[in-house]
Structure 1
Amino acid sequence: MADKYKLTIAIPTYNRLDKLKICLDRLFMQDKVQKIEIIISDNASQDGTRQYMEKLVQNNSNIYYYRNEKNVGPDRNFLNCYNRANGEYILLLGDDDYLLPHAVDKLLKTLEKQPIFVHLNTCGIDCEQPFIVGQPRWKENGLKIYQDRNDILKEIGIYITFMSSLVLKTDLVKQISDKERFIGTYFIQSYIALCTMKEQGTYIIDTFNYLAASGNEKIGYDLYEVWFFNYHKLLMEGGRIADFSEKTLSEVFYSSLKGMIKGFVVRFRCSCDNQKNWKKKYIWQSLQDYPDMKIIFAAIVYCPVGILKMIYGIMQFIKKIVKGMLKGTVYG
């Protein structure tokens, strides 16, 4: 099968059949979908996923369904996807992330360039009914081609953690001897991506708007452990193993703190009830080399939630106005 498929799209899932159906429906609408391998790795769902997939497999020769006997956790389910893939390239697609029109056809054309790694441009979902998506992260302007892994990582930044935007060479994934190093961190897919980029060659950011990602208003994990300690470890330990420069890795972490991570802390402090379980020690352990960030995050973390919600509400109002001015794209 390795010669049959250029691309494997693998979807890890667990008890989200409603989302999975939408994800698959939008995948099946794609041009050339029959030319790719589709894998579903089910983490022992109990919501009818098995029955739905068994019927689907019977009528589609390029769809393969694998079910874990028990829930092995998200990271090991991701590993199952990587280990099962037969395509030359693999994309792990979140079951709540939806491909936009012509994504498969466009990606197959990009893969003809035989890159080591491709990062996909993506956007968020503004409205599900009707299906309206926001502006993509990059202006759609063809391919951004790199020969230096440090340059592309600086451009991607924190989105190296976004599983559904990472297209990897399957043989390079399978050659990694310590794929389990970052199990339990939420970033196993990112470590694997960094390690494949150790191979010299062409790296690509494809600015075509490939998919719309669902957002979360609440999280069940320790925000500070994941986005300070684990993310810092991913870059400074995993990135070093993958031969990225320490200067690049530090710059990426710093820019992430100033941007997305600051936004995460504000947003989830305003929306999550489990923040009493978030351990602040992870923040300060990770900011030893960034004293200015210590001051900023101390202000955010110790700010009363009521005041923070008021500030966040104003920020969201301004964001809504800006989105209205830019307008989204409507897909059926």
Structure 2
Amino acid sequence: MLLSIVVLSYNRPGQIERILKNFDGVVSSNFNIIIKDDCSPKISEIESVYLKYKSKINVNLILHKNDSNMGYDRNLITAFDITDADYVFLLSDDDYVDGEKIDNLISCLIATRKDIYYTPYSCEGKINRDSLNVETNKVLLPDFSSVIYNSILFSGLVFNRSAVLELDLDRDFLANSIYTQVYIATLLIYNCRSYGTLPNDVLYLGGDGDNYFGKNEAAKNSSLLSDRTKLTSNLNYQPFLLLTIKKVASVTDNRIYSVFIKEYKKRLISYGLRSRHCGYKEHSDFLFKYVNSDLPFFLIPFLSFLMLFLVPKKVAGLINDMGIKIVRKSG
């Protein structure tokens, strides 16, 4: 088997059905679909959807039920243990793919045989992650901030399964890191200094369904992530991102962390601009939570937050939009 599409599933039968419905009429023996369910309370509904499409679609469909509730990171990292396919395409259960375009994706895998691929994704009519639209065998140190930010969304990351299993991973650390996929992607690209890109008409973000972190009981840090719709929620989970980057840098090149922090500070200022655009109260709340968060204290972003009280909120929004268009190339 060349490819397994592994759907990390938790309590979203409706979204699972949407994923499978997109494979109706698709015929292929080059890939299978594995629903990796993490002990969902709605497992009976998920099983009903599975049985309905097991007999309806012409793709090998498997329902893998974890013996116990693993939580986000453990459910992801064990995805490579439940298949013997050459490649694993990770998919969140609230995102979906165009089943008719999978053959084009498979052709890219066969032709290039990289250890890791990035799939651009469509969200609200806009293609994202498309800055990585050229395959490269020359990933340089300054490129790793882009690598990191483009790895945060795990849907559409395609890994060479053998390459992942050969890594010496600190699974105890990763078990509650929230960013297991970022660690693995960064380590693989550091080792081989290359990645592949896949067609941009395959992956779509659904953005609906219950929050995975907030609803999965075994996710140790889920209480911090229960409402990611709030701007200040970034301040809750980003300390875990920084810890993950520091960890992977310690086993590769410590300069990766420095490169990442340089980009991270720009984005932190962007969060400040967004909070000021929302209003004085929201910006005050953002500043208070930043100062009291577990994030490192960065002087320049902090001073910019203070100065933004003098900037009209519409101007702050315009500056942020302009900065994103000019500066941001990833994530």
Structure 2: gaps of 5 or more residues: 212-224, 228-232, 326-331
> AA paired with 1:7?
L
> For 1:41, which of 36, 43, 63 is the aligned residue?
36
Q: CA deviation at 1:30?
A: 8.1
Q: Say which SS state the counterpart of residue 39 (structure 1) adopts.
A: strand
**Offset from partner CA, 1:120-176 (integer Å, 9 cap, x none):** 22231x2xxxxxx223342796x3222336365344341221101321110122223
Cα pair distance change 1:220/1:299, threshold 3 Å: farther
Q: Partner of 2:245 in structure 1?
A: 235
Structure 1: gaps of 5 or more residues: 127-132, 323-332
Higher mean displacement: 17-26 or 208-217: 208-217
Q: Partner of 1:195 in structure 2?
A: 187
Q: CA deviation at 1:297?
A: 4.7
Higher mean displacement: 197-206 or 229-238: 197-206
Q: Partner of 2:296 in structure 1?
A: 286
Cα pair distance change 1:165/1:246, threshold 3 Å: farther
In the alignment, is residue 174 of structure 1 matched against residue 153 of structure 2?
no
Q: How does 1:40-79 map to 2 (within 5 A)?
A: 40-47=35-42, 48-57=45-54, 62-79=60-77
> AA paired with 2:197?
I
Q: CA deviation at 1:71?
A: 2.8
Q: CA deviation at 1:198?
A: 4.2
2:132–2:197 contact (8 Å) kept in structure 1: no
Cα pair distance change 1:40/1:298, threshold 3 Å: farther
Q: How does 1:61-210 map to 2 (within 5 A)?
A: 62-100=60-98, 102-112=100-110, 113-124=112-123, 126=124, 133-138=125-130, 143-148=134-139, 150=141, 152-176=143-167, 177-200=169-192, 202-206=194-198, 208-210=200-202
> For 2:2, which of 1, 6, 9 is the aligned residue?
6
Q: CA deviation at 1:69?
A: 4.1
Q: CA deviation at 1:33?
A: 4.5
Higher mean displacement: 203-212 or 214-223: 214-223
Q: Partner of 1:16 in structure 2?
A: 12
Identity of aligned residues (%): 18
Q: Say which SS state the counterpart of residue 136 (structure 2) adopts.
A: strand
Q: Partner of 2:328 in structure 1?
A: none
Cα pair distance change 1:186/1:140, threshold 3 Å: closer
> AA paired with 2:247?
E
The CA distance in 2 between the partners of 1:73 and 1:90, in whole Å, is 19
Q: CA deviation at 1:42?
A: 0.9
Cα pair distance change 1:206/1:295, threshold 3 Å: farther
1:157–1:255 contact (8 Å) kept in structure 2: no
Q: Partner of 1:328 in structure 2?
A: none
